[in-house]
Structure 1
Amino acid sequence: MEQLVQSPQTNTKCYHCGETFADEIVHFQEKDFCCQGCKNVYELLQDHELGTYYTCDVNPGISPSLQNFDYLNKPAFRDKLIQFSNQDISKVSFNLPSIHCRSCLYLLENLHKLDSGIVKTQLNFGKKELSVWFREQEISLGALASLLAKVGYEPLLSEESEGNEKKKRLSQQTQLFIKLGVAGFCAGNIMLFSFPEYLGIEDGNLKYLFGYLNLILGSIALFYSGSDYFKNIWAHIKLKKITIEMPILLGVLVGYSRSVYEILSHTGAGYMDSVSGLLFFLLIGKWFQQKSFDFLSFERKYTSYFPLVITKIMQGKEEMAPLSEIQVGDRLRIRNEEIIPADAILIKGKSNMDYSFVTGESEWVAIQSGNLIYAGGKHHGEMIEIEVKKDLQQSHLTQLWEQQAFKDPSFKAENWENFANQVGIYFTIGLITLATIVALYWIQVDPSKWQNSVVSILVIACPCALAISYPFALGHGVRWLSKSNLYVKDIQALERMGQVDTVVFDKTGTLTLAKSEAPNVYLHRDLSENELDILYSLSLQSTHPLSRRLCTYTQSFGDRKLLSISSFKEVPGKGLEARWKELHIKIGSAKFLGINPNVSPQDFFSSESQLFIQIGDDALGYLDFPWENREGVEFMLRKLQHHYDVFLVSGDKTNHAASLKDWFATEDHMKFECSPMEKMDFIKQLQAEGKKVMMVGDGLNDAGALQQAHVGIAVSDDHLHFTPASDAILQGRSLSRLPEFLNFSKKAITLIKMSFLLSLVYNTIGLSFAVQGNLSPLVAAILMPVNSISMLIIATWGMNIYGKRLKTN
């Protein structure tokens, strides 16, 4: 029924997850799967009569994870996650970032069919949060999390402090929703109570009653729904700063004050409908501005990259403990591909340590017993034991987070003012000056006109159109970019993208990938089946990247036999050697094999990309496993260089520059062997020269530079997990579209400026009547929200046109 067929070249897609086959095809029930995991999920769903899952969407699934969550059963973790528990039922909520379509909704709300211990589930699709009621005596918390991972929805478990930050943001959003609702309620009812005025009904008592009701509702709208404007302006006044909110609030207060006077003196109905309506539109813009991707994490601490649980050795036995309980002197057990949580000494075993996540250096470092290991390194090889030598907060890695860019959360906001606030300074000064001049003129010429003139000027010239078009235009921009796999943190980050004039790239993981691929073959003859088995058996003994890639290459010719080799020896950084029967086998660098490769400079990329092979006395030649450049990256760099200054900063060695030097203007535009601190300092140096810098990187080693830069973009092939702190997250496959995204951000800024100019024309015409005292404050109050709505329509319509073009491209 089931058959495994090697087929690296096929373009068929997996029936479950839709991914293109890379290494193998699993046939089952006349369907093809990319891996055993996808096949197992399909079989599980069929066995529980959940086959309808596949009718909801085409290729709806996600490749499953084998992550073990048994540690969640320990009280230290369980008590933090369980929201409610009695003798029978417990409730827990998980963040499931992999949710993406209606099939996910169908499966997760039918999860009780997969295990009888699950009572019911409820999915909040927008927040990607699943609430589960379950019986702990039938299915434990760890088993529940493992079941979710098994069907492709691995829970994202964050550190407690990150969870608190998220709760704080949700609380702020909830408060904004309440204020928005109150403003809408007040605006709607004020318009209803203003009908006697609209229709010219002269019933005095009814008119006065509705006037007082409007005054109460208008006061609630201004002082409750608009309270944030008062707080922000007061905070900026203390800092001696003027923002766009000041003339807006000034116009609103003038309209409100005039309304209070007219209502209480029974000389008019006031303009509470315009005041509350404007506040409602402003809060909608503010909500649109704050709306972001709840399922993405743009703010990362260094502990975000470490496991939540570590394995301690206590009295010779393993004990699972939270990361926060690590102490100096603790002995920890680290398994293959686990991250080192603190600076430590290697006590038992050997390790090939991958520091690329921290330093950017792509080559692994061989670590022997007694050597120091730094936090953030990823261990490759057999299980090892380490002894913690530094507290978690004092490790080498935490030096990044001692920088000002990480300490001050308002670092970017305070250093780079946006267009709206820059305009606000001059607008406020000009508006107050004009109103003062007009008031002084009419007091001398015709005192009966000065009050109406000043009120009309302050109301009609309110820059609310800019305050509304700004968040709506950029908010739509953020939405359209997300459809192209660029997830921008907020509208301020998108605006800063439009100001960039310099782009700095990391290399490893950003421009290049170390993915397994068919090598370039430079052998003087074909390998026999027996020789393939020999190379497979030898390469399987090592965790070096080239050994792993050789192992995969031999498997591409069919199933391999594991031979019993002897005298195995690995010389770190050079190669492997062993014996099989009478044959002596060596693989590694040309120098290790004692071979003069006679390779021309055009064919030579770097020593780490070539693997020479010798079987017996026969030097067969070499296989070239070059680093894989991301698709379209060279064209992207050349296109960027027409409009931007483009640099490369990398932790890799200088000899990796050979294949990249043609991509950059001069050698001065490439810097190698850079530490994380040196990357950050390089960004600071460019900024000191007056440049607006965008940093594009992928690893924790880039986190400092990403924070320091005008805009930091984290490139990730899995945008839901483990991206450094950044202003935006870009899926790796869309990196080649970066010039389009930057051009799109510039168009967004241009559209805002055009709408502002149009608003100025409108204000100029209105002011020409207002300064003459010929414009009633009532007409000004009506025209003010009309102007705002027109700007909103222009912003929405314009960005949707640009967005559709971006999507089409």
Structure 2
Amino acid sequence: MAVLTQSTCFHCGDDCGRHPILAEGHTFCCEGCKTVYNLLHAHGMEAYYAFTTAPGSSRKEGSRKDKFAFLDQADIARHLLQFQDAAETHITLYLPQIHCSSCLWLLEHLQQLHPGILNCRVNFARKEASIIFRQRDISLRQVAELLSRIGYEPAISLQQLDGKPAPAVDRSKLYKLGVAGFCFANIMLFSFPEYLGITSADLRLRHLFWWMNVILSLPVVFYSASEFYITAWKSLRHRFLHIDAPIVVAIAVTFFRSLYEVFTQTGGGYFDSMSGIVFLMLVGRVLQDKTYQQFNFERDYTAYFPIAVTRLRGRTEEMVTLPSVQVNDTLRIHHGELIPADGIIVSGQAMIDYSFVTGESIPVMKETGEMVYAGGKQSGGVMEILVVKEVAQSYLTSLWNRSSMQGTTAPRKSFVHLISRYFTYGVFTIAIIAGLYWQAWSVFTAVLIVACPCALLLSNTFTNGNILRLLGRHQFYLRNAQVIENLSQADYIVFDKTGTLTDAQRQQVYYEGQPLTRTQEIQLATLAAQSTHPLSKALLSALDTAARVRVTGFHELAGKGTVMGDGAEQVALGSHAFILPDVAPADNATAVYVSIGGHFKGRFVIRNQYRDHIDKCILQLKKHFRLAVISGDNNAESWPLQQLLGTGTTIRFRQSPEDKLYFVEGLQQQGHKVIMIGDGLNDAGALKQASTGISVSDGHHNFTPASDAIIAAAALPVLPQLLRLCKANRYIILAAFIISILYNIVGLYFACTAQLSPMIAAILMPASSISIIAITAGCSNLLAKLTLTKVIPTNKLAHSDPRGAQVILQHQSGSL
């Protein structure tokens, strides 16, 4: 007699049935799984199967061949693509099948399956793959079909095409919750005679109630609780126990014990407890999802992202925040500014640096009428674009985070994750011992339900998320949660002077030299408007004219000067060394020198005005950090800076962008954790080199991908309190972790001593997770309230001028 042996699919782990497919010494459940294996085998990618057993998804139900034909339509593709040029195309796709390390490995080696795919990066938590490919070698449709062929069919929804956000909570979970709630309520209704101890003389009516409870329990067990079964089964397939495994055992034990009592007519069972457990667990999951959505740092950043752009209304300029930018708006993009949204060039010179997007730093020339993409940086003067796609701030922020990850290694898992890994095994052990000791199924069930490592895992995530949110509300925006840790470990702060310690909006400007005609003033204003350097903005404010001339041949040398035009029409603004390289400077005044038609005309002397309350800020920072100031200006401000910073502070002048980078690098070689604070223009290298680079946002709200954080100029005086909040973050996490441990110890004690029913345990489990969120949010909110509401006195800051005059730093308009 033939003996039937059950075999599982080598690719997906499903039962192969009575007729398995054999290939290469392995069994497969269908031709689809065999095809995927052959594809990976042909490209030398068998390592996919080394991470875990049967990592793939079943291919029994393959996609029809024309399913992704709609991606060949240009208008649909345009809505999905994030970037496209002759060399490469970028897109992010949602792949719901991602579930393990094998998925991560396979997708991040996708380029081995097709030469047209250049790169693939996976966001495991969001189940998204960011793919870069060459359109001339493989189309978007073919990319989707390739993913589908290996078991990762992209989920492309109308919401993606319309640019709408996904709902905060999965609707299917709400349906399951509704069914569980309905059945739970009715089971309790039919169980009232049992609760009240009423013994009915009519046994048939009593038995009818019992069987009604059995019928009502079936949707709860086989539909509402399905989420727990799926998660537990997937974890068992990959040889580890998920935290849902104890819950599944508790539901199964309660359900089958109740069925036994009803079938043997020995009692009505515990269907009320079982349905109550499922209902309350689902309530907890939904509340967790909603709370996480509220605190999740990967949400819409429009609430406080401190970036603005110049929008044109007729001939009038207005500064607007990114959420205000709409399709068909005309934006004016200056030299050095990022393009915030996809658009079509309508005027101006365009030299687009896409290094922020593609990593390629060679600027690309674009003509009027051509498309430019969000994330590119204008490096050719001023241009105007017509917005054709709404601003995607999440995309800009993902680019920001992508640039920070280049050249870094994956972070190590925290001790919290290591503990939770063995937590479930410990729960099962305790439950079995307690159940055998008391010989009570309720004790066994209560232990399985009440113990949960969720609170341990949530303490770190939610505390970091809330701190990021609080810092953002105070106009201090961090790239990601790792920056909080970096700030808390810093011991050295390096400031740039111009535009950081000084206020570009309040500087006094005086002209010295040959008289300028009205036409020349307009030419200088036009050139100054091309740059976002603080001195250029101060000069533009002083010239006070809205008239402009046509810009040709614009060029800027970082930290030196700007030029436009040729020959007699050439106009140049810059430092003394840039305009008069062969002439020694007469003094050390901070000035912008002017050359028109190759002839020196004069200079604009700029009297620096330090920011209000910056002295209080420096005084507080000196208590906890060593300080330094590095500036590209001459040493005219040496004495005022010494008065401001006091003794023991390093001050360096005439520093090029390279000098600033080397200075920060030297401090790091001495073992210091350095914070670099600058305007992000001439110090981008130093910002990137520092442990944490902070860009000061002022006026045009410049955004530089070199920085790890952006702080609004108005928030600079409270920087000490903001840094103190970052340092306190680790103590809040530690406190939340201790509370989580204590909760599990206390809960297990009452469960093991038979003092806790499964129903109460089902209430406590989600309540513990929600309470951790409340505690961490409350502590961080209270700490922020105590530290960030201290009002700095509004007295005017003064310092003595080395020539004997008293200079009051208050608002004065520039004069010529």
Output the TM-score relative to the length of structure 1: 0.49
Output the TM-score relative to the length of structure 2: 0.49
